[in-house]
Amino acid sequence: MHELPYWRLSGYYFFYFAFIGAFSPYFGLYLQSLSFSAWDIGLLLSQMQLMRLFAPYLWGALADRLAQRVLIIRLAAVLSLLGFSSFFAISSFTAMLIAMALLAFFWSAALPLVETVTFDHLRDEPGRYSRIRVWGSIGFIVAVMGTGALLDRLPLPSLLWVIVATLSGILLYALALPEVAAHTSADAQVTVASILRQSRVRALFAACFAMSAAHGALYVFYSIHLADHHYSTFLVGCLWSLGVLAEIVVFFFMAGLLRHFGLRRILLISFSAAVLRFLLIGWCVDWLSLIVLAQLLHGLTFGAYHAATIAAVNRWFTGRSQARGQALYSSLSFGAGGLVGSLLSGWTWDAWGAAPTYALSSAFALAGLVFVALWVRDSDFDLVGERGSVRVADRTCH
């Protein structure tokens, strides 16, 4: 009987998303403390999205060729730690850009491979995935709140040591991960090109691009925006954590929500919530109650949206095309959309200011809403049943 390495997998997820919790909310503040402009900060942080366009494919191809996924995961962990360590010795924009690109290239390699290793360990029990993945959300919350509290007492350069600690944790658990034989599918080959010719698929991917572009200003400038309005670092961390808690709650109930509301309605609600959320962040930042509401909407703008989108992609990309369908979703949304959103927000932040930048985010979300409303129909999801919904809810990830 195959023994599931539960704590070794859970520990990896914990530190992987703890890195995100320490890096995403606060590294922009660190760069701002070095007197970089908003455009410079947006360009530097956009490397995380840029590398997600192609790095996972390159590392995945290497892992397939060597048939050594865990070896690549360990190599990525070592190189990520070494790459980030260079931030202790550099301060110029060019050096920062190179270091950020290297960090993003190595760091983005690991998670897709860890996901495949996890599901191969789970074998015929994919429903247990959520019990492992939840430790990633816990790691994010611990890191974002702990780092916020720490930075209220220590200078911003202390952030570098916190991030090194999370990357060291990733390396530690990468070394502990056991390899497992990959499971191959017996499904017939499906032509991806024929699927992409469907208007519903193109519309959904366009909407996904728009949703990720809408979140660009959030991930790059949200902490800076709050700090500029006299929010403490600890409170900033609490607000980030509140969004993740809302996401976890939505994930927990997602199976029932999918059955009750259907995928199209959930997508429409999610995009509508995004339109409202970014307007609140941009124009109502001085009202804490409205900022709290905006963070609670993260459960819809990421949690519900992401779960519903994965369900649609799993439905439309059948057989052996499913992995490529998910890869396209990741590249076009988190990669291309996130990149455009980060770069554009860096320019508009300097040129227009915070409120108009978040208004542009709302405009992106509105465009996504239009794509879904006009070109995606309820009938497109008729065959997504209860079993599929449960599996989708289990496989969502931050």
Q: What is the CATH number of the domain that holds 138?
A: 1.20.1250.20
- Give the pLDDT confidence of 20-48 residue by residue, as tens digits: 999 988 999 899 999 898 889 988 988 88
Q: Which of 178, 208, 224 is the last residue of a domain?
A: 178
Is 116 found in the same domain as 222?
no
- Give the pLDDT confidence of 207-258 residue by residue, as tens digits: 999 999 999 999 889 999 999 999 998 899 889 889 989 988 887 787 778 7
Q: DSSP labels for 264-288?
A: HHHHHHHHHHHHHHHHHHHH-TT-H
Is 205 found in the same domain as 70?
no
pTM for this entry: 0.74
The structure tokens 């991930």 sit at: 219
Q: Is residue 85 part of a domain?
A: yes
Q: How many CB atoms lie within 10 A of CB 160?
A: 16
Query: How far is 233 from 230, CA to CA, in rounded Å?
Result: 9
Q: 140 is in which domain, residue-wise?
A: 1-178
Is 36 found in the same domain as 173?
yes
Is 155 found in the same domain as 15?
yes
pLDDT band at 291 (very low <50, low <70, confident <90, very high): very high
Angle, in degrees to the nearest 10, between helices 55-66 and 69-85 = 140
Q: Which of 151, 178, 205 is the last residue of a domain?
A: 178
Closest CA to 38 of 339, 349, 344, 342: 349
The dihedral through the CA atoms of 31, 32, 37, 41 has a sign that is: positive
Length of the chain: 398
Domain tally for the chain?
2
Q: Which of 153, 178, 203 is the last residue of a domain?
A: 178
